[in-house]
Structure 1
Amino acid sequence: MSAALVAGLLAGYGVAVPVGAVGAYLVALTARTSLRTGACAALGVATADGLYALLAVLGGAGLAPLIAPVATPLRIGAALVLLTLAVRTARTALRARRADGGPLRAQAPPSPARAFLTLLGITLLNPLTVLYFAALVLGDGPHPPAGPDRAVFTAAVFAASASWQLLLAASGALLGRALTGPRGRLFTALASAALVGGLAVRLLLTG
């Protein structure tokens, strides 16, 4: 069981630590809203990682042939969602700035529940995550972990991913406090939109 715990922690940090489009959006979202919203979004990412880890230990070798045919459509879907978020962020920032020339006010800031579901959905659209966990599980032998080890591995993946995503959310909250003026918030919104949009285009071009 201790081996499954260590393997789960390493796998969770392995998939979470590289900051890609989802991580960048999480930081930007927290900077524009609140730590509570960012924390819920972070748990959405961790929940997706935990679900995919569970699928890996339950499905093992059967996952790869099922995911492979839809990997490209899922990747394109994830990129389009991120592009939509980038455009919406920039448009909201510019409209609020033009409206009164005062502080940037988001017209419809996402609720914590909505942030959770949004990040959960975006992360679930990434087929490479489940393939990553499946490869790790199969690397230990021809059969997935059995019994309590499955639960331990999955819980460890969730805990590792959650701790890292919450750290990203906290950094976004600190960034938001540092940029509290009208120009600072406008810059944060436009910069985050450009970053997420660029990462989405890169995701589209990756094949």
Structure 2
Amino acid sequence: MGTYASALVTAALVAGLLAGYGIAVPVGAVATYLVSLTARTSLRTGVCAALGVATADGLYALVATVGGSAVAALLRPVLDPLRWAAALVLVVLAARGAVTAVREYRARHLATRTTPPPPGPGRAYLGLLGITLLNPTTVIYFAALVLGTRAEEAVRPLEQGVFVLAAFVASASWQLLLAGGGALLGRTLTGHRGRLVTALVSSAVITALAVRMVLL
């Protein structure tokens, strides 16, 4: 690999990392749900959920890199319906989290176990993957970056692969950091009342962010 080719690959690597962190770092409803889910379950479940989010980001980076403007134009007519669907799913999850927290708190006093089991790692991965895929803003974001940086020069498959992989790694590293924070939060909140309060606050924040998603 020549010097020029190495420079192109390095540029694709840096661009992918910046793109991945750029879409992952802003804390939204999905990130809030990820932290809350990990705090209520386990680090293993949180890690799987985090990888679900990162997988969706990686897939959208791949679609945007390969499809570019065609994909962005295709999604633009259904942008609003997808945004409403994502918001609806998040509101349902927030409501379910609040109801589950209240039931667990009451079950402690009634000595019963009527609450549904928490999602396992596999279900958490698929759930967060689906929620993130419902957000078309991600592919529009990646498409804009790709179109804005490639100019008229053809991009080789190697550079595309490096960009997509770097975006996935960046997103995964941030989501895993959030999951770790959720696990730490879960260990510190050992009391039933503390878990109830944090679950209700998290549900309220997720609902507010979901509403904000459809109003913007």
Unaligned segments of structure 1, at least 5 residues: none
Q: Which of 121, 128, 144 in structure 2 is aligned with 1:135?
A: 144
Q: Which runs of 5+ in 2 are unaligned?
A: 1-8
Contact 1:102–1:182 (8 Å) recurs in 2: no
SS in 1 for 2:119: coil
2:17 and 2:167 in contact (8 A); partners too: yes
Consecutive aligned runs of 4 or more in structure 1 exceeding 6 Å deviation: 102-105
The aligned counterpart of 1:94 is 102
User: 1:171: which partner in 2?
Assistant: 181
Q: 1:15 aligns with which of 23, 26, 33?
A: 23
Deviation at 1:188, TM superposition (A): 1.8
**C-alpha distance in structure 2 between counterparts of 1:161 and 1:150, whole Å:** 17
Q: Distance in 2 between matches of 1:19 and 1:144?
A: 34
Percentage of identical aligned residues: 65
Match of 1:56 in 2: 64
- Separation (CA, whole Å) in 2 of partners of 1:108 and 1:32: 11
CA displacement 1:89-140 (0-9 Å, x = unmatched): 1111112222342799752200001010111011101111001000111112
Could you list the per-position Cα deviations for residues 3-31 of structure 1 after superposition, in whole angstroms to 9, with x for gaps in the alignment?
Answer: 11111001001111111111111111111
Aligned counterparts of 1:180 and 1:19: Cα–Cα separation in 2: 25
The answer as to 2:200 corresponding to 1:200 is no
96 and 171 in structure 1: CA distance in 2 versus 1, 3 angstrom threshold = same
2:127 counterpart (99, 115, 118): 118
- What are the Cα deviations for residues 155-201 of structure 1, in whole angstroms up to 9, with x where unaligned? 00000000000000001111111101111111121111111111111
Alpha-carbon contact 2:105-2:193 (below 8 Å) kept:
no
Q: How far, CA to CA, are the matches of 1:192 and 1:158 in structure 2? A: 26
| Cα distance in 2 between the residues matched to 1:158 and 1:203 | 23
Higher-Rg member (1/2): 2
| 1:154 shift after superposition | 0.5
CA distance in 2, matches of 1:137, 1:104: 54
